[in-house]
Chains A and B, each alone.
Chain A
Amino acid sequence: MVPLHHYLLLSTLLFGIGLGGVLTRRNGILTLMGLELMLNAANLNFIAFWRHQPSPAPADGLLFALFAIGVAAAEVAVGLALIIAIYRRWRTVNLDVPNRLKG
């Protein structure tokens, strides 16, 4: 059987990639995609731990992941709406351009 730590490793790597994308990509949409990737990695963590717990009967971990997916979906919807709004104003989704909150 695949031990737990393999899954954790995977999820960590996914998280890392997602984080790197968020911090690096210029395009706003791709930033959101990275964010999704990170959320998914966290979900994977949940499921992995749920499966490897001593008594796997309670479905808490599963439900947690379920709810996380729901929240992520809502969040991506709103985030993309924001991207649309930004696009309308600045004609671009380059996140460097809207810097009106500059100090």
Chain B
Amino acid sequence: MEFFANIFILVPVLPLLAAAVIAVTRKEGRRRAATLAIGAMSVSCVIAVLSFLVMAAHPEERLVRNFDWIRFGHTTLQLGWVLDPLSAAMAAMVTFVGLLIFIYSVGYMAHDDNFTRFFGFLSLFAAAMLGVVVANSLLLLFVGWELVGLTSYLLIGFWFHKPEAAAAAKKAFITTRIGDIGFLLGMVWWYSQTGTLTFYADGAGCLEEGSLAALGAVGLAGFLAPATLISLLLFCGAVGKSGQVPLHVWLPDAMEGPTPVSALIHAATMVAAGVFLMARIYPLLEVGAGANGVTPALIVVAWVGAITALVAALIAVAQNDIKRILAYSTVSQLGYMFLGLGVGGVAVGMFHLLTHAFFKALLFMGAGSVIHGCHDEQDIRYMGGVKRWMPVTFATYAVGMMALAGVPVFFSGFWSKDEILHAAHGWPVSSGPFWLGLMGAVLTAFYMTRQVATVFFGKYRGAEGKDGHAAEPHESPAVMTRPLVILAVFAVIMGFFGTPAWPWAQDFLEGEVAHFHLGHLFAGDVMGLMLFSTLCVFAGLGAGWWLYGMKPRERAEDPDPLETRMPGVFGALQNRLYFDEFYEATVIRFNRGAAWACDWVDRWVIGGVVLATSYLFVGFAWAGRFIEDKAVNAGFDAGCETIRQRGAAGARLQDGRVHNYLRALGVGFATLLLLLTWGCQ
């Protein structure tokens, strides 16, 4: 096990090296880029899975490797990595799902010109995400966090010549940036209070007893401990990265990127980083908790999650883009994860994260397959009856949809979502989140049914081609459908690792050994709740099928059945509850004004100073030249002229005329004579 702790750092490093090599590969080096990326990811996957299996045998262990990075004065900044159940499980999931998506991308991006660049960015993203996962230092985590944001920007805006894609990338980056301000402030505050950013360092780490005691003790402004405020600040970062209300607006727009990007980043991994962060710093979140395990920070987390879960589900009901439905679904499910984290702890939230990763990636990749098969059509109104031509895609998509909706027993989503609802039901603070979650579950089943019915059943309503007939959809190649199958299998079997009878996953994440007790299924209100939630799910499924499956629409332009019944509500939902418009009118407008003001200052004030300075220097130069010309040169010239004239005058002495020489001799002689006779008297 020590061995795996030592090589665990390779899990992010290998994709990083692959990315570095791909960065210098020519655009034509497609095969090399794909091989490097997939190869590095495979090795990382093997290491991560093996580490996970090793940890599975010893769930109570936590192995840490730290090293000094920068030393200034008496303090050192340490970086390091940690191998514990949380990081092992997350690393295994990320590498496995990532590997499948890499393979899928080989087929999906085969026709794209910038294949090499795509794999470079994908590899870099994988490295950054895995860096976040294995980090034992908040600083290293932050570095990975920022890199993840950067690569997300690069990948959303991969087709940068499309203005919508460029705008979406910018929006994603800026929105997550706003959250990251909170993250940075929290990080700095935490460091100033505890003097270290390393999580676990033999008792000196910032997540260990000593530091947490220091943070929980002093109350700020009388009622909020620093621990709470730091947690909330770090939660801001999670809200931005994981697309919770109010910073969720970037995630649906991020669908402008290629579908593998949406599958990997905006379903399984990057958006999950926020949840992972909260799970990692959970000890901070629960500082000051009493017997019921509730703190102000956890209350906030739970409520934000619950509200997001419902709001996003409502908006998803009225969307027409196949990927946008899934995007809002992701936002909603992330809300569930935060809700689970807030009311039930790390295990509950993380279990849903792990199951969600698989079935959401499956759904996105299935959507990608559908888009590919329907010749790049993304609007569900222009699809229909696709199951006739794409059976494998339909089967796997159906599995994913049922997992997401929470159809019981065989599908993992049921077990993980039920854990959350069970924890919310038993929450001592309030039952509000429970009811919100329940309503969200109903809506989830509803909109997924709507989507599946509209896409796969009924008549094909594809846009007409040049010859007057709509081109028929075709099944995707094996390189795209095989990963779908693998993910579908996981979407089913993962659930069995987290049932109340045998809560292996939860106990593993909590660092305990799990035991199989069938009796736990029937303990307390577990069975009752399971039946109730199943009822709700079937209600949603039934409503969806009744509206969309029984009488599928004939033409693409037909109004939505819900729209005819509730036009006002539907319209508001279709316009995403006007979040974007609100931001545009307030924040964006303010920002634009501030930018204009800054530009004005830069151009006229600072620019004016620069211009004045440059003129000053030009003036100096001109004055120098003037002095040079008039004074120095003229003086020099005059001096030289004087010398020349004197020389010329002197030269006249030697005129070649003998008589003059003789005369000079004579005068000299006379003078000498006179001097000799009278001078020395």
Contact = CB atoms under 8 A, between A and B. Distances in A.
A28 to B, nearest CB: 8
A89 interface: no
A22 interface: yes
Interface stretch (B586-594, B603-611, B654-662): B654-662
Interface stretch (A1-9, A47-55, A64-72, A93-101): A93-101
A103 B657 contact: no
A29 interface: no
A88 interface: no
A87 to B, nearest CB: 15
Q: How large is the interface on A (under 10, 10 to 19, 20 to 34, 35 or more residues)?
A: 10 to 19
A91 interface: no
A101 B659 contact: no
A76 interface: no
Contacts, number: 32
B663 A100 contact: no
B638 interface: no
Nearest to B650: A103
Interface string B177-215: 000000000000000000000000000000000000000
Contacts of A57: none
B651 interface: yes
Please indicate which of the listed interface residues B653, B657, B666 has the most CB atoms of chain A within 10 Å of its own CB: B657
Contact of B656 (A22, A23, A24, A102): A102
A47 B659 CA distance: 30
Contacts of A103: 650-656
A95 B659 contact: yes
Interface in A24-43: 24, 26, 31
A62 interface: no
Nearest to B652: A103
Nearest to A22: B662
A98 B659 CA distance: 12
B653 A23 contact: no
Contacts of B652: 103
A19 interface: yes
A95 B652 CA distance: 17
Contact of A102 (B654, B662, B666): B654
A96 B654 contact: no
A101 B655 CA distance: 7
A45 to B, nearest CB: 15
A65 B382 CA distance: 145
A96 B656 CA distance: 8
A75 B115 CA distance: 110
B154 to A, nearest CB: 84
Interface string B660-681: 0011001000000000000000
Nearest to A100: B656
Which of A23, A95, A100, A101 neighbours the largest number of chain B CB atoms within 10 Å of its CB?
A: A23
B660 to A, nearest CB: 9
Contacts of B653: 103
A5 B658 CA distance: 33
Contacts of B650: 103
Contacts of B662: 22-23
A96 B657 contact: yes
A98 B655 CA distance: 10
Of the candidates A26, A98, A99, the one having the most CB atoms from chain B within 10 angstroms of its own CB is A99
Contacts of B655: 99, 102-103
B657 A23 contact: no
Contacts of B663: 23
A85 B425 CA distance: 141
A99 B658 CA distance: 8
A42 B431 CA distance: 149
Contacts of B651: 103
Contacts of A95: 657-659
B654 A23 contact: no
A99 B657 contact: yes
Nearest to B663: A23
Interface in B435-486: none
B658 to A, nearest CB: 5
A85 to B, nearest CB: 15
A98 B656 contact: yes
B380 to A, nearest CB: 109
Contacts of A24: 659
Contacts of A102: 654-656
Contacts of A31: 658-659
A101 B666 contact: no
A26 B654 CA distance: 18
A100 B657 CA distance: 9
A81 to B, nearest CB: 16
Nearest to A34: B662
Contacts of B654: 101-103
Contacts of B658: 31, 95
A95 B659 CA distance: 8
A38 to B, nearest CB: 11
Nearest to B669: A19
A103 B655 CA distance: 6
Contacts of A22: 662
Contacts of B657: 95-96, 99
Nearest to A99: B656
Most buried by A among B650, B655, B656: B656
A102 B658 CA distance: 10
A95 B657 CA distance: 7
A96 B654 CA distance: 13
Interface string B537-548: 000000000000
A50 B24 CA distance: 115
A1 to B, nearest CB: 28
Interface string B633-658: 00000000000000000111111111
Nearest to B648: A103
A98 B654 CA distance: 13
Contacts of B666: 19, 23
Contacts of A100: 656
B38 to A, nearest CB: 94
B155 to A, nearest CB: 89
A103 B648 CA distance: 9
A98 B658 CA distance: 9
A96 B657 CA distance: 5
Nearest to A96: B657
A61 B293 CA distance: 146
B654 to A, nearest CB: 3
B670 to A, nearest CB: 10
Given A99-B656, A103-B650, 8 more contacts: A19-B666, A23-B659, A23-B662, A23-B663, A96-B657, A101-B654, A101-B656, A102-B656
- The 9 lowest CB-CB distance pairs between A and B, nearest first, are A99-B656, A103-B654, A102-B656, A103-B651, A101-B656, A95-B658, A23-B663, A102-B655, A23-B662
17 contacts: A19-B666, A23-B659, A23-B666, A24-B659, A26-B659, A31-B658, A31-B659, A95-B657, A95-B659, A96-B657, A96-B659, A99-B657, A101-B654, A103-B651, A103-B653, A103-B654, A103-B656
